[in-house]
Amino acid sequence: TKFVYSFDEGNKDMRGLLGGKGANLAEMTNIGLPVPQGFTITTEACNDYYENDLKIRQEVIDQVEDKLAQLEREQGKKLGSDNNPLLVSVRSGAVFSMPGMMDTILNLGLNDTSVKGLIDSTKNERFSYDSYRRFIQMFSDVAMEVPKYKFENVLDKMKEAKGYSSDLDLTTDDLKVIVEEFKKIYKDEIGEDFPQDPKKQLMLAIEAVFRSWNNPRAIVYRKLNDIPGNLGTAVNIQSMVFGNMGMSSGTGVAFTRNPSTGENRLFGEYLINAQGEDVVAGIRTPQSIDTLKEEMPEMYDQFVNITQKLEAHYKDMQDIEFTIENGKLYILQTRNGKRTAKAAINVVVDLVNAGTIDKEEAIMRIEPNQLDQLLHPTFDPKALKSAELLAKGLPASPGAATGKVYFHADDAVLHAKEGEKVLLVRQETSPEDIEGMVSAEGILTARGGMTSHAAVVARGMGKCCVAGCGELRVDEAAREIRCGDRIIKEGQYLSIDGSSGCVYLGSVEMTSVELVGNFEVFMNWVDEIRDMMVRTNADNPRDAKKAIEFGAEGIGLCRTEHMFFEEDRIPAVREMIIAENVEDRVKALDKLLPFQREDFHGIFKAMDGKPCNIRLLDPPLHEFLPHDDASIEELAKQMGIRPSDLKKRVVDLDEFNPMLGHRGCRLAVTYPEICIMQARAIAQGAVLATKDGHKVTPEIMVPLVGHVNELKMLRPLIEEAVNEEFEKAGVKVDYTVGTMIEIPRACVTADEIAEVADFFSFGTNDLTQMGFGYSRDDAGKFLGEYVDKGILEKDPFQVLEQKGIGRLVQMAAELGRGVKPNLKLGICGEHGGEPSSVEFCYNTGLNYVSCSPFRVPIARLAAAQATV
Ligand code: ADP
Ligand code: MG
Ligand code: MG
């Protein structure tokens, strides 16, 4: 196997083998840019190292020695030589760039003899010793894990003793002393002399870079960015050029455009007389690249010329590292620059307008999830750096929020009314907290998963939420949070990041963004290319309007029960539940009907002709009742009944396993009057909206069907009620009746069900729950470990699990369409806004996906990408 490639043997398409850095060094070499020469050890060699008991195979070592000899010949220098020695850098370079996460060693090849050779060939003694002390420090730190601070201490002491303000003040003699002290530190720590054999230095350095693939920060970075852990890193051995040779030398980094805004203007920093990490290390404050124009106009012009060449070549914004050695410019790295979502959009729109790329390419370049950043306010990255992390929970609903913590919904409402910024913190939320959630800037819970009530509702509202933050002990009675030995009391500030799950102490500054200009232009291209519809999950006119602003083309799921919790109607809801006989129940339902009619009227108006999928009552009834004695007593008093009677009813309704209990269409089968009331309310709402001059397209959806007979019984009841209302009003509205497919048996018998359904909507939350047999309220306890241990690739409640659950969806789609070729298919689970799941839906032939309002743009982009 070929494990080692010279730069002139590779190209940019070989990043899998050579890593991003190596592939681009090769590419730049090919297009004739001034790149110091060298060679790349492949990622395969790294993986082989890991498979081979952490040993570098002899075959690899031989190939490295061959390439090194070749490099020595070309450069006319020899590693470790006492005259004109070759020095190299040993640089990590993964397939997907992980800036700063892995290790690099500079000036390798220096030892007590070759430093003399370097002085000889450069006539620069200070520079030579400066390079040597840098090498000892970096090698010790990276290859031998000697703590950096031990070296920093020596430097600091020396500077203090001599009254220097900067490293630049160190004299040659100082540096000689430092080199000796550094070697002593090495000997004390490792128990051996600093290695003088340059080949040994090289092999140890290569191994250190291999190992750095698995250092903790690299692992964290990969997790955050969804980069597989088995790719390995390549190693680049490159001859050194020196930015620390004096005042006509320097080093820097520049982006061809501004990475925060996308502005088409060179953006960067550099330092004179410096090397490598100095620019980012913060020891000296670097200068803006604009200053280079005055300081070294010729270098600046050459550099600008190269940056333009590189951007044109890669057709994307580049992040470029350069070094100037005695007035000669070298390019050390280029890559597609990391950028904010805002910059990403501005860059692709610019590139399309300039004719560099086409619209399809532009669409493929934006990571759909990245759009989230644009839809929610976020923390100012600078402020975040100094913020103190308290704990980490699940990133349940993106955005950032800062506020004073309150532990009860009423308190949140009250203080928000007084103009305070409020965070609602709960052990877990219940539907009754909804008002508090509306008033709060954000929601933080100690329990509950990504599909918990708090999470679903928060996403619907576009409100930031961190859920399941298990490190927190939320004591609602004492009104405080305990976390380790810290206590946060009511009224103190916390800041939460719903995109990362991080909870910070105190208040962190925010930045917000608008959805105009290039974002709009870009989303129009998305819609031109997209051919699957995107709807929204919305329970009220406010959310529906928001979703339409974001481009929703209909409602895919309106959960009627969310309306039941509102303050003015909960008494009637409870009356209905308590009712012991049909008459009492109908009486209570009659009180509810006007409310529901207005709900639907409002939603139909907001949607103005766009299809509205309304789901009939779904949750088990006990969810609407209080459970502790005090609340039961209070409610009984309000309702004018005996607490014991109410208590009895609560106990009656209690279920061992409510998720598999008396809910969904099972409620309608046993209490048909509830379903009939809702059908009437939908029809009456439709009539009102029609009379207002709106077109109305209701789709009535029966939840949780597992047997065709359920739908066979319910469909006629619904139709009868709806038709009767239309006749009464003398208005005719086209509507459909269909079902949610969320029980595995329904998937398997979808052909039967399709006979009586006008549409299917896949409820993939329940389908995942029942398909895997994972309670979604409890799965948080083990799913994390399932993912860590590789049993599952992803949390199946976040990313649709395609092999099993997806198979069920495909089966239902095929069986259903086999009976009814035009059967309308959609998805309304949380997966409807997750890019890979959206692609799956497209490939399965679904007519639409539906997701919470703030994910609509993401789903639109993902749907467009699926068609490209
Ligand atoms: P990272 O991946 O963390 O950016 P690099 O491998 O790019 O690490 O190395 C960090 C810095 O070291 C580079 O930006 C460059 O300034 C310096 N460097 C690396 N190789 C050389 C070299 N051959 N000559 C001069 N400087 C180098
Ligand atoms: Mg770099
Ligand atoms: Mg369901």
Query: What's the CA gap between 601 and 552, in Å, rounded?
Result: 19
* Interaxial angle between packed helices 518-529 and 856-867, expressed in degrees from 0 to 180 and rounded to the nearest 10: 50
Would you say residue 85 has pLDDT above 60?
yes
Query: What's the CA gap between 424 and 622, in Å, rounded?
Result: 24
Burial class (CB in 10 A: 0-12, 13-18, 19+), 481: buried
Residue 847 CB coordination number (10 Å): 17
Nearest to 751 by CA among 711, 826, 811, 822: 811
Nearest to 194 by CA among 137, 156, 149: 137
Query: What's the CA gap between 410 and 171, in Å, rounded?
Result: 68
β-bridge mates for residue 505, sequence order: 494
Total residue count of the chain as it appears in this document: 868
Q: Is there a contact between 589 and 677 (Cβ–Cβ < 8 Å)?
A: yes
Residue 280 CB coordination number (10 Å): 12
Query: What's the CA gap between 94 and 21, in Å, rounded?
Result: 7
Of 21-25, 547-551, 709-713, the least confident: 547-551
Residue that the structure tokens 């940019």 belong to: 12
Is 622 catalytic? The answer is: no
Average pLDDT over residues 538-557: 92
Largest CA distance in the chain: 105
Pick the catalytic residue: 46, 465, 828, 841? 828
Q: Ligand 1 test: best mutation among 235, 245, 330, 333, most atoms within 8 Å of CB?
A: 333
Q: CA-CA distances (angstroms) from residue 377 to 170, 371, 636?
A: 47, 12, 44
**Predicted structure pTM score:** 0.82
Q: How confident is the model at residue 290 (pLDDT cuts 50, 70, 90)?
A: very high
Q: Which residue has a Cα nearest atom 19 of ligand 1?
A: 89
Query: Helix/strand/coil (H, E, C) string of 656-680?
Result: CCHHHCCCCHHHHHHCHHHHHHHHH
Distance 678 CA to ligand 1 centre (A): 67
Average model confidence (pLDDT) across the chain: 92
Query: What's the CA gap between 537 and 852, in Å, rounded?
Result: 5
Nearest-ligand number for the alpha carbon of 321: 1
Query: What's the CA gap between 394 and 445, in Å, rounded?
Result: 9
Would you say residue 562 has pLDDT above 90?
no
Distance 744 CA to ligand 1 centre (A): 55
Element of type H or E holding 767: helix 764-772
Nearest-ligand number for the alpha carbon of 19: 1
Q: What is the structure's pLDDT at 265?
A: 94
Pick the catalytic residue: 453, 562, 622, 831? 453
Lookup: tokens for 704: 């949780």
Q: CA-CA distances (angstroms) from residue 60 to 74, 118, 209, 456?
A: 21, 29, 15, 53
Q: Judging by DSSP bridges, how do beta strands 4-6 and 38-41 pair with one another?
A: antiparallel
Of 461-465, 489-493, 657-661, the least confident: 461-465
Query: What's the CA gap between 735 and 697, in Å, rounded?
Result: 6
Q: What is the structure's pLDDT at 822?
A: 96
Q: Which residue has a Cα nearest atom 17 of ligand 1?
A: 276
Question: Per residue in 348-380, pLDDT tens?
Answer: 999 999 999 999 999 999 999 889 878 877 888
Q: Which residue has a Cα nearest atom 23 of ligand 1?
A: 240
**321 CA closest ligand 1 atom index:** 14
**98 CA closest ligand 1 atom index:** 2
What number of CA atoms fall less than 13 Å from residue 834's CA on the CB side?
21
Segments of 378-418 assigned E as strands: 378-379, 389-392, 394-397, 400-406
Distance 667 CA to ligand 3 centre (A): 13
Distance 99 CA to ligand 2 centre (A): 7
Residue that the structure tokens 């047999």 belong to: 773
**251 CA closest ligand 1 atom index:** 16
Would you say residue 850 has pLDDT above 60?
yes
One-character DSSP codes across 593-612 = HHHHHHHHHHHHHHHTTSEE
Q: Ligand 1 test: best mutation among 332, 334, 335, 338, most atoms within 8 Å of CB?
A: 332
Lookup: tokens for 87: 């020095």
Query: What's the CA gap between 339 and 157, in Å, rounded?
Result: 39
Q: Is there a contact between 540 and 685 (Cβ–Cβ < 8 Å)?
A: no
Residue that the structure tokens 């840098």 belong to: 134
* CB-defined site of ligand 1, < 6 Å: 36, 89, 91-92, 99-100, 104, 106, 238, 240-241, 251, 276-277, 321, 323, 332-333
Distance 741 CA to ligand 3 centre (A): 9
Q: What is the structure's pLDDT at 224?
A: 67
Would you say residue 47 has pLDDT above 60?
yes
Q: Which residue has a Cα nearest atom 6 of ligand 1?
A: 91
Q: What percent of the chain has pLDDT over 70?
A: 97
Question: Per residue in 668-703, pLDDT tens?
Answer: 999 999 999 999 999 999 999 999 999 999 999 999
Nearest-ligand number for the alpha carbon of 330: 1
Query: What's the CA gap between 558 and 578, in Å, rounded?
Result: 25
Q: Is there a contact between 662 and 670 (Cβ–Cβ < 8 Å)?
A: yes
Lookup: tokens for 390: 């308290």
Q: Which residue has a Cα nearest atom 12 of ligand 1?
A: 276
Query: What's the CA gap between 372 and 835, in Å, rounded?
Result: 12
Nearest to 117 by CA among 96, 138, 131, 99: 131
ipTM: 0.94
Residue 471 has phi, psi (to 5 degrees) of -70, -15
Query: What's the CA gap between 824 and 42, in Å, rounded?
Result: 50
Would you say residue 309 has pLDDT above 90?
yes
Residue 511 has phi, psi (to 5 degrees) of -130, 150
Nearest 10 degrees: CA dihedral of 440, 442, 444, 445? 70
Q: Which residue has a Cα nearest atom 9 of ligand 1?
A: 104
Element of type H or E holding 127: helix 125-144
Q: How confident is the model at residue 283 (pLDDT cuts 50, 70, 90)?
A: low
DSSP state of 443: E
**279 CA closest ligand 1 atom index:** 16
3-class secondary-structure state, position 324:
strand
Question: Per residue in 149-208, pLDDT tens?
Answer: 999 999 999 999 999 988 889 999 999 999 999 999 999 999 999 999 999 999 999 999
Which residues have beta carbons under 5 A from ligand 3 (an ion)?
A: 742, 763, 766
Nearest-ligand number for the alpha carbon of 331: 1
Q: CA-CA distances (angstroms) from residue 373 to 423, 497, 855?
A: 20, 11, 11
Q: What is the structure's pLDDT at 282?
A: 54
Is 453 catalytic? The answer is: yes
Distance 715 CA to ligand 1 centre (A): 69
